[in-house]
Amino acid sequence: MTDGAARFGWFESVPPDGLEGARDVIENESTELPEDWPTRAVESDFAADESDYYNKLHSATTATMRAAVREAGRADDRQLTHSVRAIDDAERVANEVAERAVEWGESLFEDLPAGLTGARAMADREPTSSAEERAISLARRAAGLADEADALRAHVERTAPSVAPNLAEMAGPVLAARLIALAGGLESLAKKPSGTVQVIGAEDALFAHLAGRAPSPKHGVIYTHEAVRGTRLEDRGSAARALAGKLSIAARVDHYAGDLRPSIHEDLRDRVVSIRARADDEAAGESAEGGE
């Protein structure tokens, strides 16, 4: 087979006697296309025969899953919290530094696009003076930090579903992680009433309201969710309430049970559809009234 060399079997770097390192390979390696692994494993002396291969595969896969679920039961929500806070910091600082670098760069080079785009354009230049060297180096730091933010985001997207499958499915992995971080962990999110979940991230606005300085906030970080943003202004409060209610249920299922529950996602979609139908009903009512 011509592309045989490109395919990598899990057993190829694992010692057949103790299977050390098998978990790392099973969890983190990848290959595009499968192969007749049992035959390849026997050919490469990893296993004596097919049955021996399957016995080894069985102990490697069960041990891996056992270890993974044990770890998932531990403080993975804390890892998620660090990761999502790191995204925010990295993005904020990348933007600040990019702005500074671009402002500097415009005094040295021609006009540059604003922000990170400008910093990336600068980063590709070769400096011809020591001032340029510093400005370009600064731009490269900004670009590097933005890359780090992207990598962190990808990491959150990959890990959030295993920490909180329903929250991640409902809110998207990054918003799910943000809710967990703001609540101080999955358990405390699961224990909050849905009215609190609705305003998580809007604490400043909430304090202003309690001090009599502002109307009560209708929604916190969950306003970025499509269910709220995609609903017309006068129905956003209802949408946020419905979403917060389902998010609380999702957090509870994730904390206490941990399986993906399709029904709660269907319920949310149902609710959003009926809230949005109000706008259609009114539109239909008006055109019926104005019809004659």
Partner 1 sequence: MTDLPVGVKRRQFDGVSRLATRGAPVYGEPTDGEWRVWDAGRSKLGATVEAGLDTGLVGGDRVLYLGAASGTTVSHVADFAGPTYAVEFAPRPARDLVEVAERRPRLFPLLKDARRPETYAHIVESDLDAVIQDVATRDQAEVALRNQRFLARDGRLILAIKARSEDVTAAPGDVFEDVLDSLREGYEVLETVRLDPTHDSHLAVVARPR
Ligand X SMILES: C[S@@+](CC[C@H](N)C(=O)[O-])C[C@H]1O[C@@H](n2cnc3c(N)ncnc32)[C@H](O)[C@@H]1O
For tokens 């295993």, name the residue: 162
Helix (H) or strand (E) holding 200: none
Residue labelled with tokens 């017309």? 232
By beta-carbon proximity to ligand X, the closer residue of 166 and 238 is 166
Reduced to 3 states, what is the DSSP secondary structure of residue 190? helix
Contact 194, 247 (CB under 8 A): yes
| Residue 4, binding choice from partner 1, ligand X, none, Cβ under 5 to 8 Å by partner class | none
**In the window 230-269, what residues touch partner 1 (CB under 8 A)?**
257-260, 262, 266, 269
- With CB under 8 A as the contact rule, which of the stretches 55-63, 114-122, 182-190, 230-238 interacts with partner 1? 55-63
* C-beta of 110 vs 259, nearer to ligand X: 259
Identified binder of partner 1 from the candidate list 29, 88, 187, 203, rule CB under 8 A = 29
Concatenating the DSSP letter of every residue in 16-41 gives TTT-TTHHHHHHH---SS---HHHHH
Size of the site for partner 1 (CB under 8 A): 43
List, in sequence order, the alpha helices (H) in the chain. 22-28, 37-43, 50-73, 76-108, 115-123, 130-163, 165-171, 173-183, 186-191, 194-199, 203-210, 226-229, 236-256, 262-289
Query: Of these partners, partner 1, ligand X, none, which one is at the site of residue 105 (CB under 5 to 8 Å by kind)?
Result: none
66 binds, among partner 1, ligand X, none (CB under 5 to 8 A by kind): partner 1
Contacts with partner 1, residue ranges (CB under 8 A): 7-10, 25-27, 29-38, 54-55, 57-58, 61-62, 64-66, 68-69, 72-73, 161-162, 165, 169, 257-260, 262, 266, 269-270, 273
